[in-house]
Amino acid sequence: MEYDAVVVGAGPAGLMAARKIAKKGFSVLVLEKERDLGTRACAEAVSASAFQTAEIPPSPSLISNTIDGAYVFPPDESKMVKISGEYRGYILNKPLFLYALASEAASAGCDIQMRSEVKSVNVEGGEARSLVYEKKGELITVGFKYLVGADGVGSIVARTCGFDMGGYEIIPTIQYVMVNCKIPERNMIRVYLGNEVAPLGYVWVFAKNEYMANVGIGVRGKPAKPYLDRFIERHPEFFGNAKVIKEGGGGVPVGGQIRELVKGNVILCGDAAGQVIPITGGGIRSSMAAGSIAGEAVAHAIEEGDPTLLREYPLRYSEHWGSRISKSLKVLRVIETLPDDDLNTLGELLSGDDIIDLANGLDVKRVAAKLMLHPMVAVRIASRLI
């Protein structure tokens, strides 16, 4: 059997891509290796606009908690910065959110096969023509005109189709889902920084409801678990009698977008392509946006019988997301070199708006100009942000 397109991975990127291709009337097969959607650990935080990107309404059944703002704690927690105002978001119920995306894809006509792990891609003369996947112990070959690799970190599509993964950098994370937590102001997410707390990373505490929270850490160069356990021990006011009911983790690609997103008739999107905002590690919305644009480019290429039209995807994605990712990466490269004293100084000087702009790669120049007014900070930090 040959499909117009095969999509590997039923995460946010793959389900969006598949929906967009099927909506144009083309045949699409989605292959997912897991037996369920949303099994991978995730802190589940998205901005409110994620639902616009997903093109589904923010139904309460898909949301565990609403976010009204954030507290960002530098190493000296007394210098905490409050982010509030127009920044609204949600802690998703990610498995149900993915079911909703899968439902949209199915209603557009996609075939979705679970427990189907892609084992290899057959590339002939620079074109991928078929792949082999394993389902219930059986090896099945399927042909296609176009292939979408939305298979996350460690993408088999990227590896077997020869994508240049130079600069692809993964930060390891660990996350606990905890119950019987006592998190005050549960609509405010909490982020903790500092070389003692999370070397070259951060700890997050995102309440899911009045008793449950996603509590996680990303660190570089050190084992993450001891840092997370120590953080929990040092915050008995939140976790005194709390219990871990689920432990997970995984790599987050924080090194920025890979150089080539398209190779012949193959396209990569989402985590597979490094499309994560490097400072926050947030990739749900940016991956859905990538899947959506990638899917439209594939549909256009099928329609016109012209694989070169896949190039529309990197062009359109870089207009907004590509530049946000690269600006956020630049800020990360500066922040990760700072000692705790400098992080405390930033805590004193930066407002909530400034932190949002820096973290998301938005108006970095404005924040750098503000920091320039402080001579010591200007030399060490601000000049490097511009």
Residues in the chain: 386
Closer CB to ligand FAD, 218 or 385, in the complex: 218
CB of residue 75 vs ligand FAD: minimum separation in angstroms? Answer: 22
Cα separation values, 177 from 171, 214, 243, 340, Å? 20, 5, 8, 28
Closer CB to ligand FAD, 249 or 278, in the complex: 249
CB of residue 41 vs ligand FAD: minimum separation in angstroms? Answer: 4
Which residues bind to ligand FAD, rule: CB under 6 A? 8-14, 31-34, 40-46, 117-118, 150-152, 156, 173, 175, 216, 249-250, 252, 270-272, 276, 281-285, 287
Query: Is the four-CA dihedral 57, 295, 8, 262 of positive or negative sign?
Result: negative
Alpha helices of 46-93 — where are they, by DSSP H?
A: 50-54
Closer CB to ligand FAD, 265 or 275, in the complex: 275
What residues are paired with 324 via a beta bridge? none
CB of residue 191 vs ligand FAD: minimum separation in angstroms? Answer: 11
Specify whether the backbone of 117 is left (phi greater than 0), alpha (psi in -120 to 50) or beta.
beta
CB of residue 329 vs ligand FAD: minimum separation in angstroms? Answer: 15
CB of residue 29 vs ligand FAD: minimum separation in angstroms? Answer: 11
Contact 358, 364 (CB under 8 A): yes
CB of residue 12 vs ligand FAD: minimum separation in angstroms? Answer: 4
Closer CB to ligand FAD, 201 or 307, in the complex: 201
Interacting residues of 341 by C-beta distance below 8 A, sequence separation 6+: none
Closer CB to ligand FAD, 110 or 272, in the complex: 272
Q: Which DSSP state fits 33?
A: S
Closer CB to ligand FAD, 213 or 377, in the complex: 213
Closer CB to ligand FAD, 207 or 385, in the complex: 207
Structure tokens at 366: 């404005």
Closer CB to ligand FAD, 42 or 371, in the complex: 42
Closer CB to ligand FAD, 117 or 336, in the complex: 117
CB of residue 282 vs ligand FAD: minimum separation in angstroms? Answer: 3
Specify whether the backbone of 143 is left (phi greater than 0), alpha (psi in -120 to 50) or beta.
beta
CB of residue 160 vs ligand FAD: minimum separation in angstroms? Answer: 10
CB of residue 332 vs ligand FAD: minimum separation in angstroms? Answer: 15
Q: Which amino acid is at 367?
A: V
Burial status of residue 345 (CB atoms within 10 A of its CB: 0-12, 13-18, 19 or more) = buried
Burial status of residue 70 (CB atoms within 10 A of its CB: 0-12, 13-18, 19 or more) = buried
Helices and strands per DSSP (H, E), number in the chain: 14, 18
CB of residue 345 vs ligand FAD: minimum separation in angstroms? Answer: 27
What DSSP string runs through 236-289? HHHHTT-EEEEEEEEEEE-S---S-SEETTEEE-GGGGT-SBTTTTB-HHHHHH
Closer CB to ligand FAD, 31 or 377, in the complex: 31
Looking from the CA of 360 toward its CB, the CA atoms found within 13 Å total 15
